[in-house]
Amino acid sequence: MRRMQLEVLALPLARPFAIARGTRTAVTVVRVTLEQRGFIGRSECTPTPRYGESAESVVAQLESLRHEVENGLNRHDVQQALAAGAARNALDCALWRLDAAQARQTLWQACDQRAPASLIAAETLSLDTEFNMAAAAADAVSRGAQLLKIKLNRDAILAKVAAIRAAAPEATLIVDANEAWVDLDLPDLLAALVRYDIAMVEQPLPAGQDQVLADFPHVIPLCADESCHTRADIARLADRYDMINIKLDKCGGITEALAMVDTAQQQGMRVMVGCMLGSSLAMEAALPIATAADYVDLDGPLWLAADSAPFLTYSQGRIWPSS
């Protein structure tokens, strides 16, 4: 007999985290623990209001399946039992870890992969004033950051990017607009950003309003985030975007994320792996997907006042996985 335990936790942030949609000082996560014959599988998801989720809605979805889960529901069944999203992610990842534990494997081995020594990881610059964002960039690179993800809205875009580039002349810069660049002249804006050697721009327009991205050449590669949840979205986005951002909380877990990598590669699209705010427990589950990614954005634990096991190591702009 399998047992499922659910826990809702509010994790305080070490400092405010601001994007185009608002500012957060804490993040609420739902954790799942599965126990079967002494073997444990744990996971964490972050419900996202942007997608109509809350801790309560996630717990309700998981509770609705308690009987099935505790009587042996497997990963394949979960894909049909729950829609893509945070609840399915929590259950899918817990089952992956439980299955790996029962097989006496690591998560890497269960995914038929070998852990790399390290992965270059983005450090996010929260939306702020030009001065504060440049100072944050300088601090990040002083600690070894090689890849910076810049959160922007519609205000002072070029001035902020110019200040950050001056503060971090050697770093790779990617920009995340979080759907905020509605009614801007995107071809002109992207052309202006070229001078700052921007490697990629993520989700400039709202999901469902991004058809115009197919109408002009992309002088900077564009990445779909809010527009892309599962593999079913990828084909229709191939003429609008050059990359997709795979997040376990969007797609519903490791199972779908691995399938998304294959589908994106078939479409000739590159991959980024991203995250919601959360602890190392959530980030570790995404690492097997990160090995196929051009950009790895799994810095959620760096924003927390206190992290949780398995305590990934973040140092010199890299994540150092355990094997």
Q: Which residues are catalytic?
A: 151, 247
CA distances (Å), origin 75, targets 6, 31, 238: 18, 17, 29
CA distances (Å), origin 96, targets 39, 102, 133, 209: 12, 10, 38, 35
Distance CA 42, CA 279 (A): 12
Nearest 5°: CA angle at 35, between 33 and 38?
Answer: 140
H-type alpha helices, the chain: 55-64, 66-70, 75-81, 86-102, 107-110, 130-142, 157-167, 186-193, 234-237, 248-251, 254-266, 280-290
Distance CA 314, CA 298 (A): 10
Distance CA 65, CA 82 (A): 9
